[in-house]
Amino acid sequence: MSSVEMVRGEEDARTNKVTDTDTNTNASKNSEKEMVILENISKAYNGNKTNRNSSNVNTSRSGSSTVLFEHIVLDNLNLRITEGEFVTIVGPSGCGKSTLLNILAGIDTSYTGKILIDGASIKRSPDTDRIIIFQEGALFPWLTVYENIEFGLKIAKISKEKRREIVMHYIDLVQLTSFAHAFVHQLSGGMKQRVAIARALVLNPKILLMDEPFAALDVQTRRMLYDQLVKIHEKTNKTILFVTHNINEAVALGDRAIIISPKIAGIKKEFKIDLPRPRQLDHPLINSITNAIIEESKEMYTSNSYFTSRYGNYSTESKPDLELESPQSQLA
Ligand SMILES: Nc1ncnc2c1ncn2[C@@H]1O[C@H](COP(=O)(O)OP(=O)(O)OP(=O)(O)O)[C@@H](O)[C@H]1O
Ligand SMILES: [Mg+2]
């Protein structure tokens, strides 16, 4: 047993957590154990919409009126993810991808439905068993790379010696050993995201939630990070739920790619990507699944969005972000 394995084992016994999957990658690689179960997840926001020439009260001088409505973002969504599975989520802007991740992360608590992680109902609050990584890593700028990664372990009151061993293991995994004592402002965007990944992994989450983690990076850096994330996934066998706007990225990375549709406020279709890794982005199967998803998604990216057709024009301060993208540009 390596020292890190031993360290994690001891800590797990103390903190009552599952053992680190670094040590049993092969054993659980083909496990069909369900790590995440989402049952009938529904989420709605209240909003105002402007109706022209309505007979409603609150009619303004221009003849328009404001009525309250319920914007259903997720409507009885069901999803099951097995241990070690890498699931990617795509869908047009505003379809509810971040909402779903925030619900799982315990950041968004106003939803109905049931979520089980490793067989237990989750608390409606953030927890180290499910950690979310955003587009911007949200690192602490006053701490070094080492200290950022160590932070959660300190909070968990892990001893200094053991913290060091765990942190060094994960810094090595994300290939930042020589930057251990650099500050955040001295890192590139890709390096920052690798720190964010290491910082999440040291806490041994049962699921890693990634909300467009590479969206702010240039194409070259993104491709390098694909390779690194694939290696990290292979070594840790973490269950990953990964949101992206880039369909090609979703297919190249995932064991399964899921399309969320704002029309049905849920999963429209999913594609199993049964291809060994590492994968070439332009592999014929990747291309054909990417094209199939683009085809499937076309109607969702038309200029007249489902949101507008269903709900009219939003007129609250929390204006929905309905920026539209061309699915064709996804192949870039
Ligand atoms: N606080 C809020 N109040 C009202 N509506 C909201 C609020 N937060 C999100 N929404 C709406 O919920 C819907 C889903 O938002 P969400 O952020 O989950 O979309 P998304 O799929 O992640 O989009 P993007 O790809 O742009 O990140 C959107 O229509 C958005 O306007
Ligand atoms: Mg989002």
Q: Which residues of the chain are modeled with pLDDT < 50? A: 1-28, 54-57, 303-304, 307, 314-332
Give the pLDDT confidence score for residue 43 in this predicted structure: 97
Report the length, in residues, of the chain.
332
- Cβ distance 49 to 66 under 8 Å? yes
Q: Which ligand is nearest to the CA of 97?
A: 1
Alpha carbon nearest to ligand 1 atom 7, residue: 318
Q: Determine which residue's CA is closest to atom 3 belonging to ligand 1.
A: 318
In this structure, is the dihedral angle defined by the CA atoms of residues 151, 204, 4 and 186, taken in order, positive or negative? negative
The Å distance, Cα 96 to ligand 2 centre, comes to: 7
Nearest CA to ligand 1 atom 25: 93
Question: What is the Å distance from ligand 1's center to 163 Cα?
Answer: 37
The pair of three-digit structure tokens given for residue 285, joined into one six-digit string: 């199967």
Question: pLDDT tens-digit profile of 187-224?
Answer: 999 999 999 999 999 999 999 999 999 999 999 999 99
| pLDDT (0 to 100) of residue 232 | 95
Which residues lie with the beta carbon below 6 Å from any ligand 1 atom? Answer: 45, 47, 73, 91, 93-99, 245, 307, 318, 320-321
- Protein residue with its CA nearest to atom 2 in ligand 1: 318
Residue 191 C-alpha to ligand 1 middle, in angstroms?
28
- What is the reported pLDDT for 124? 93
CA of 321 to the centre of ligand 1 (A): 7
The answer to whether the CB of 184 falls within 8 A of the CB of 26 is: no
Q: How far is the CA of 108 from the centre of ligand 2 (A)?
A: 13
pLDDT of the residue at 64: 62
Q: Whose CA is nearest to atom 14 of ligand 1?
A: 96
- Pick from 90, 95, 109 the residue to mutate for probing ligand 1's pocket: most ligand atoms within 8 Å of its CB: 95
| Residue 255: both structure tokens together | 């064991």
Give the burial string for 135-152 (b: 16+ CB within 10 Å, else e): bebebeeeebbbbbbbbb
Which bound ligand lies closest to the C-alpha atom of 73? Answer: 1
Q: What is the number of the ligand 1 atom nearest to the C-alpha of 46?
A: 4
Task: Among 93, 263, 297, name the best residue to mutate to test ligand 1's pocket (greatest count of ligand atoms within 8 A of Cβ).
Answer: 93
Q: Shortest CA distance to 74 belongs to which of 266, 300, 260?
A: 266
Whether 289 and 57 have beta carbons less than 8 Å apart is answered as no
How many angstroms separate the alpha carbon of residue 147 from the centre of ligand 2? 28
CA of 96 to the centre of ligand 1 (A): 6
